[in-house]
Structure 1
């Protein structure tokens, strides 16, 4: 069986930007959504990567979302805010909520943003939590419903990530439940943000950014994370820093493989709009 053709990430990002721009998004927001999708390819969670672009385009064509709506900021205080979805695209709404939460965490040590009106089918939020953890903050995205994403700053420079929707899509071969030592990184997050754990509803997401320096030195925190991960492979739903680095390097070196079922809808959209489709890597 022949291998699926592979495409350069930069070519796919440019394609996503062009297609989403024609669907009504400003170019900066179109590029941001493309980067979010490609993030999942870069960590090996391809089911949630650029293959999902066709679905987002179809939903925009149906009018499921308003491409020009960035969300409306509601009640706001020093450490908290409400962001009303108002029909905007969920990934970009959560990215904006993370920006607000991160700014508040820089000012006060903690930022909590509740996003209302988010559809239950919003998908994973690991990319959003990961961006917060490079802050470095403890990043948490709760909801909609029981969905949970967390990102924890790690000594390697890229964070340790958990996402309940990803399951074992981006993990290594070991998908057994975490041991007590493997649970320690999640307890670092849960212990710090427990007051907000039950705040999210079926159509709400709570985004939390907590500055590590607010409760512990970054060096000490990194040592605890390293000790908790030592000698372990990633259980289901976890993305360890070395896994991320390996997949990211492989993606840059070999490109992203796209099956015919994923290429077809994107080619159709491109042809209909007169946008050149990128050539695969030779």
Structure 2
């Protein structure tokens, strides 16, 4: 069976930005959504990557989301806020919630943003949690429903990530061979917030490591927990992320024809040049 054609990440980001802009998103927000999708390609979770761009565009065509809606901030306090979705695009709403939570964590040590009205089919939120962890914060995205994402700052500078929706998409070993100490470190610190997430709600949490421990000490504990272990399903270890990222930069992102065809047709209708695959 022949391999799917590969495309440069920058070329795919350009196409995503152009097509999403024509679907009604402000250019900056269109670029942000393209980057979020490509993040999953860069960590090896390609089922949730740029291959899903046409689905988001189709849902915008059908009026499932309002491309201009960024959400409305409701009740807000020093460490907490409510963000009402108001039919905005879920990935961008969660990214905004993470920005708010991160700012509050910088000011008070912890930020909690409750996002109301997120559809059950919002998809994984590992990219949102990972961005928080580069803060460096402990990042959590809980919901909708039982979905959970977490990112933990690691010594390499690339966080350790867990996402219940990814399953084995980002991991390399279907049989868990590591204990869950890193996840317990997160949950033990923020367990009171776990009760907040409802079926149509998402809770985004940013917890500043410095609020309870020095970053160096925390990194040592994470490194000790990971030493000699392999990533079970749902986990993305820093070395896995780095390896996939390097591969996508070197070889490009593989896209099946089932994804390329609709995107090429959309590009032609919109007058957007679709890139040629890498040789």
User: TM exceeds 0.5?
Assistant: yes
Q: Distance in 1 between matches of 2:20 and 2:81?
A: 28
2:256 matches 1:259? yes
The correspondence of residues 1-282 of structure 1 with structure 2, limited to 5 A, is: 1-174=1-174, 178=176, 183-282=180-279
Quote the Cα distance in structure 1 between the aligned partners of 2:144 and 2:52. Answer: 19
Q: What residue ranges of structure 2 are gaps of 5+ in the alignment? A: none
CA apart distance, 1:271: 1.2
1:274 is displaced (CA, Å) by 1.3
Distance 2:47 2:109 in 1: 35
Deviation at 1:264, TM superposition (A): 1.1
Alpha-carbon distance between aligned partners in 1 of 2:147 and 2:185, rounded to the nearest angstrom: 18
For residues 206-255 of structure 1, the C-alpha deviation after alignment (integer angstroms, 9 at most, x for no partner) is 00000000000000000000000000110000000000000000000000
Superposed CA offset, 1:74-114 (max 9, x none): 00000000000001000000000000000000000000000
What is the SS of the residue equivalent to 2:138?
Answer: strand
1:173 offset after TM fit, Å? 2.9
Deviation at 1:172, TM superposition (A): 1.1
- Tell me which moved more, 38-47 or 191-200: 191-200
TM-score (norm 1): 0.97
Deviation at 1:8, TM superposition (A): 0.2
Q: Cα distance, 1:2 vs. partner?
A: 1.6
Find the aligned partners of 2:262 and 2:148 in 1 and give their Cα distance: 30
Question: What SS does structure 2 have at the residue aligned with 1:141?
Answer: strand
Number of residue-to-residue matches in the alignment: 276
1: CA distance between counterparts of 2:173 and 2:276? 32
Classify the secondary structure of the residue corresponding to 2:151: strand
Does the residue aligned with 1:197 lie in a helix, a strand or coil?
Answer: helix
Quote the Cα distance in structure 1 between the aligned partners of 2:147 and 2:265. Answer: 33
Identify the range of structure 1 (241-250 vs 267-276) with the bigger mean alpha-carbon deviation: 267-276
CA distance in 2, matches of 1:3, 1:131: 32
Q: String of CA shifts for 1:158-196, please: whole Å, max 9, x gaps.
A: 00000000000010134xxx46xxx10001100000000
- Deviation of residue 63 (structure 1)? 0.3
Q: 1:55-81 CA deviation, whole Å, 9 max, x = no partner?
A: 000000000000000000000000000
In 1, distance between residues paired with 2:19 and 2:7? 16
Cα distance in 2 for partners of 1:265, 1:141 equals 31
3-state SS, counterpart of residue 222 of structure 1: helix
- Helix, strand or coil at the partner of 2:195: coil
TM-score (norm 2): 0.98
Question: Which consecutive unaligned segments of at least 5 residues does structure 1 have?
Answer: none
Please identify runs of 4+ aligned residues in structure 1 that moved more than 6 A.
none
Shift of 1:198: 1.6
Secondary structure at the counterpart of residue 29 of structure 1? helix
Q: CA RMSD in A?
A: 0.7
After superposition, give the CA deviation of every residue in 1:95-147 in whole Å (9 maximum; x if it has no partner).
00000000000000000000000000000000000000000000000000000
**What is the CA-CA distance between 1:202 and the residue it aligns to?**
1.0
